[in-house]
Chains A and B, each alone.
Chain A
Amino acid sequence: MNDTPVAVPTTLVEITLDGEAVRVPKGSTILDACRREGIDTPTLCWAENLTPVNVCRVCVVEVEGSRVLVPSCSRPVEDGMVIATDSERVRTSRRMVYELLASSVEMDRADREVHEWMEHYGARPERMGKRSEIATVAQPVKVQDDLYVRDYERCILCYKCVEACGDDAQQTFAIATAGRGFDAHISTEHDVTLPDSACVYCGNCIGVCPTGALSFRTEHDMRLAGTWDEDIQEVTTTVCSFCGVGCNLELHTQDDRIVKVTSPSDHSVTHGHLCIKGRFGWQQHAHS
């Protein structure tokens, strides 16, 4: 009896992916199918521990019979679907998305793969105009406490932080999008400071931010001091020292000091999410 129930047998559907006939489990997304088949696909607003919100459009693919490109991260496969992931139309669209984002947002701290994809598609944000002459989201950095920093000059409005704070993980709902059109931005209620908001400082928003808009205060301070160097940082996986849940921690260390803490998003205990003690309690170490 000490066995988990046998998984429901999966039904397979047949699709054509970039000209190849493949069979994938029913209920998979096109993105799942691409990953299964080894077709590398860019994403920005998708994360394995969050529900897709389809806002960035960088993962779009062409589906035969569909008038518009479809987001692969959320569209489930259907029997007989014919999908092109590398057509001219797809490449143009993905390039445009990167160019539009990078023309108004500072992308220098985005995940490394973002830059690799931009290069892959030949994205040239500068063709939208000179930074000094076009509208951007440039604004002062928000430093309101000792734990983390919000630098919305780097925000692409991917909603990941909102999802992690809200119903995908933390259920705190301290932040949401406010404003419309180009003025849309991530905000606390009535734009109060973070310490005055509903925020409980789990830092799960930092954990999912793909562009460095949200970061640890330690990282922010080290960058200001010019000492932040990811190339020499090491990551060690261990277990949190507080309650009995057993959250896995990834300790990012530089010069024998912990500089930030994350959690693996594929671990069954945390799904990448932590609480304030796990994510920031390590600063005890600095005082020991």
Chain B
Amino acid sequence: MEVENVDAVVMWGTNARNTHPIYFHHVLKGIDNGARSWAIDPRRTATARFTDTWLGLNVGTDIGLANGVAREIISAGLTDDEFISNATTGYGEFVAFVEPWTLEHTAEVTGVSAEAIRDLAHGYATAPTAQICWTLGITEHHTGVDNVLSLCNLALLTGHVGRWGSGLVPLRGQNNVQGGGDMGALPNKLSGFQDVEDDEIRAKFEAAWDCEILPTNGWNLTQMFEAMERDELKAVYIIGENPADSEADVKHARAMLERLDVMVVQDVFMTRTARMADVVLPAALGWAESDGTVTNSERRVQRMRAAVPPPGQARQEIGIINDLAALMGDDAWGNPTAEEFWEELRTVSPMHGGMSWERLEAEGGLQWPCPTEDHPGSPFLHGRLWERPVQGRRAPFSCVEDRPPLDVLTEEFPLRLTTVRALDSYNTGVQTSGYSSPIRSGEALEVSVADAADLGVVAGERVLVSSRRGAIEMTIGIDLELAVGLCHTTFHFPELADVNQITSDAVDPKSGTAEFKAAAIRIDRLDHDDRAELDEKVGAGA
């Protein structure tokens, strides 16, 4: 964990203290060892409390802030010119592009003081090693991919990439979201991030698998829902996903799922999605009832091992899928074990080639790329950018525009809602509703003191929360540190508050990810029997 010895760390759009607590232990060690630290988040999060400086930017102005930081690094002469000239492209154009982003202009757009922006720019650029860590505060926007590119620009300006201690660190939200992609569970990739549309690659897989692979990219989740709407997609097989709760504008998503001719759900729990299915295939828990591997945020492939048998009719997922293949008429699959699957993967995915099952056992996990059995694995990527001459493609600067959230604030919907996560709960609550947490706060719409006073609402009061998609009842909470105009809520308790009925349906066309972080809402008081009593409370508080 290089972050323990880093000189500067920027936590941008991530509340890792709550969402990645054990990674944050390593960040805290880095801070304790003297790293300068910044938290960039519209909210003063648990993470922000531990950093030197909190930059409370307006929701959805990350690109503006990054462009402003970039311009300051350039105009103060803090760029790594050797790295820029040897390892990047598009620098001249980028300099001209960010020219308008003066400290004053950036401060005006982002709501962050010019002094804090300057401090971040200088601190990040002059640190010998520096990392930028992010999570969904960066990616759950209609500009999610561009947000990431704007952070990449900062690393390219300063050479904070491809070196031990320096880098760009997206913290993955699920224990195997990295591994799923690595294995080819993406619409445009085969195992080992190899392009579906590359004829040579496809030919290699077709020879290994003795089958024909469609030569075109598939649909991502957002595109699948669009295809359902067009009645092009009529049957889906959903494994370990709960879109009937987790999708933004979830009423629409549920309507789309209901249009399907056939819906098969394979899951560990009887989720809302599973309850809508024609067929439910009960699966064994991955982490406690199955053998296999998962890959974490640092690309470390680790062994998962079965400790207990699955309950009732639940079965290992490998077995379910094998049997389905046989029923579909392909009985050449046999009944391979997790280890046999892994060994086959190594033959088609070069980046996993050196990771034998024995090594994964003996070395407690290995980080890809690990092409050969004598390769130690790779703690970081992009080291090639420091070779002279650079091997392979140079890294391009990206001129990305700051574009505010698509669900605009108006008089009718004047408040900005952003969804967040609590320490003790996980996503739609499927996996965390089963244990009794003493720190669980339940569902609440957190509002600022000033907005609560304006609306005349008190903590604990039930209110109607509406957006352009729908309206739900929620309970008011008051967050003493929240900026005026900002509201936040978790979405861990869809049975109590169906928050995704009101989240934004705006989608980043490049990633397919919805803008969960920026919905426009309004709050209306409800007629309560105890209206008079509540009014008295509000009066007393004012």
Contact = CB atoms under 8 A, between A and B. Distances in A.
Interface stretch (A68-76, A180-188, A193-201): A193-201
A251 B307 contact: yes
Interface stretch (B16-24, B191-199, B397-405, B526-534): B16-24
Interface in B135-194: 162-164, 171-178
A238 B288 CA distance: 7
Contacts of A274: 22
A238 B173 contact: no
A268 B164 CA distance: 16
Interface stretch (A11-19, A126-134, A167-175): A167-175
Contacts of B386: 1
Given A1-B383, A270-B22, A238 B435 contact: no
A55 B243 CA distance: 53
Contacts of B21: 202, 275
A20 B103 CA distance: 66
A284 B438 contact: no
Given A1-B386, A239-B294, A276 B308 contact: no
Contacts of B379: 2, 4
A213 B388 CA distance: 59
Given A248-B302, A251-B288, A274-B22, A195 B436 contact: no
Describe A's contact surface by its main secondary structure: loop
Contacts of B304: 238-239
A239 B19 CA distance: 16
A212 to B, nearest CB: 21
Contacts of B308: 251, 253, 256-258, 285
Contact of B172 (A236, A243, A270): A243
Contacts of B173: 243-244
A277 B424 contact: yes
B287 A240 contact: yes
A201 B307 contact: no
Interface residues of B, number: 65
B100 interface: no
B306 A244 contact: no
B297 A234 contact: no
B307 A269 contact: no
B77 to A, nearest CB: 26
Interface stretch (B106-114, B204-212, B426-434, B473-481): B426-434
A244 B435 contact: no
Contact of B178 (A244, A270, A275): A244
Nearest to A193: B438
B99 interface: no
A243 B175 contact: yes
B162 A201 contact: no
B438 A269 contact: no
B482 interface: no
B175 A201 contact: no
A251 to B, nearest CB: 4
Nearest to A148: B438
Contacts of B305: 236-238
Contact of A281 (B178, B381, B426): B426
B456 interface: no
Interface string B323-364: 000000000000000000000000000000000000000001
B97 interface: no
From B298, B305, B378, B437, name the one whose CB has the most chain A CB atoms within 10 angstroms.
B437
B297 A195 contact: no
Nearest to A246: B296
Contact of A238 (B287, B426, B434): B287
A2 B22 CA distance: 25
A242 B428 CA distance: 12
A167 B309 CA distance: 39
A171 B437 contact: no
Contacts of A287: 434
B423 interface: yes
16 contacts: A1-B163, A147-B437, A195-B438, A200-B423, A236-B305, A240-B287, A243-B20, A251-B288, A257-B308, A258-B288, A269-B296, A277-B423, A278-B22, A280-B437, A281-B432, A284-B433
Given A1-B162, A246-B294, 4 more contacts: A244-B20, A246-B297, A275-B22, A284-B433
Interface of B: 1, 19-23, 25, 28, 32, 50, 162-164, 171-178, 268-269, 285-288, 294-298, 300, 302-309, 311, 364-365, 378-381, 383-384, 386-387, 423-426, 431-439
Q: Shortest 7 CB-CB distances between A and B: which pairs?
A: A246-B296, A244-B172, A1-B383, A284-B434, A236-B307, A283-B435, A275-B21
